Chain A
Amino acid sequence: MPALINVPPKARRGEVIEIRTLTSHIMETGFRHTADGKLVPRDIITSFSCRYNGAEIFRADLFPAIAANPYLSFFTVARESGKFEFEWIGDNGYSSTASASIIVE
């Protein structure tokens, strides 16, 4: 399982909920060298997005200054029951997705 998603399973309509995501990735900065002086090429996640029933509610551009295994916490208003879809895109064609569902009462 490459990603850990924390979305409350249930919420009241109109409630502000926190969404937390953690994904497994080395986030190699591209500024480090090996012992024999070679530059270690950059390998990071550059973009994250979250869609709520198809509409984008949060997006982030990530840089090498984001720690390995990127953690993100953000908020949204629970409008309706449905699905959150998460997507991470990065160097070397990296792409990863995850989803979580919510029941809004």
Chain B
Amino acid sequence: MPTTRRQFLSLAGGITTAGVMPVVTLRPIEATPAMLNTAIRNVVGEAPIRTGKVKLDIPPLVENGNTVPMTVSVASPMTATDYVKSIHVFNEKNPQPNIGNFYLTPSSGRAQVATRIRLADTQKVVAIARLSDDTFWQIAADVVVTLAACTEEMN
């Protein structure tokens, strides 16, 4: 990014209405919904994705996008014949659409993973589970982020 944030802000200070500030130029690279779809199709292939079974616990409003607690759980008996193979988490507007892939086994006992993620903007987070019968189930959650992660400068 050739323009620093400080230079940009002093330039933008000349514009009186905050509403017309081209804030988008501060974030030159974002995953677009098209990238999100591509990332999902890379995992799922052409299989249909049904809604349900998956639960995504993430705060609807976060102050700091640098560390957002997230828990994904899937309703599954976790037996040798009926279990969750993997859980995949995606985002809509970070520079890259992937967040994490988590691979479980029947001996996991409970289909649940938790981690802490980064969100660069207010956006949608999508969790997809692949079951042992190779069906895919998804859930999406909207998260409002007041302080974004990833794109700030390093000092």
Contact = CB atoms under 8 A, between A and B. Distances in A.
A58 B105 contact: yes
A34 interface: yes
B91 interface: yes
> Is the interface on chain B under 10, 10 to 19, 20 to 34, or 35 or more residues?
35 or more
Given A29-B150, A64-B96, 18 more contacts: A16-B109, A32-B153, A33-B1, A35-B155, A59-B102, A60-B103, A61-B101, A65-B96, A65-B99, A66-B99, A66-B115, A67-B67, A67-B115, A68-B67, A72-B114, A74-B108, A75-B108, A75-B110
A62 B94 CA distance: 14
Nearest to B125: A65
27 contacts: A16-B109, A16-B110, A31-B150, A33-B154, A35-B154, A57-B105, A59-B102, A59-B103, A60-B101, A61-B101, A62-B100, A63-B96, A63-B99, A64-B150, A65-B94, A65-B98, A66-B99, A66-B100, A67-B67, A67-B117, A68-B66, A73-B71, A74-B104, A74-B112, A75-B109, A76-B107, A79-B107
Given A29-B95, A32-B151, A64 B109 contact: no
A12 to B, nearest CB: 13
A77 interface: yes
Interface string B131-147: 00000000000000000
B63 to A, nearest CB: 14
Given A35-B153, A57-B105, A65-B118, A72 B66 contact: no
Interface residues of A, number: 34
B4 interface: yes
Nearest to A29: B150
Interface in B81-135: 91, 94-96, 98-105, 107-119
Contacts of B19: none
A73 B154 contact: no
Q: Which 5 A-B pairs have the closest CB atoms?
A: A16-B109, A73-B114, A67-B116, A61-B101, A75-B110
Nearest to A17: B109
B153 A33 contact: yes
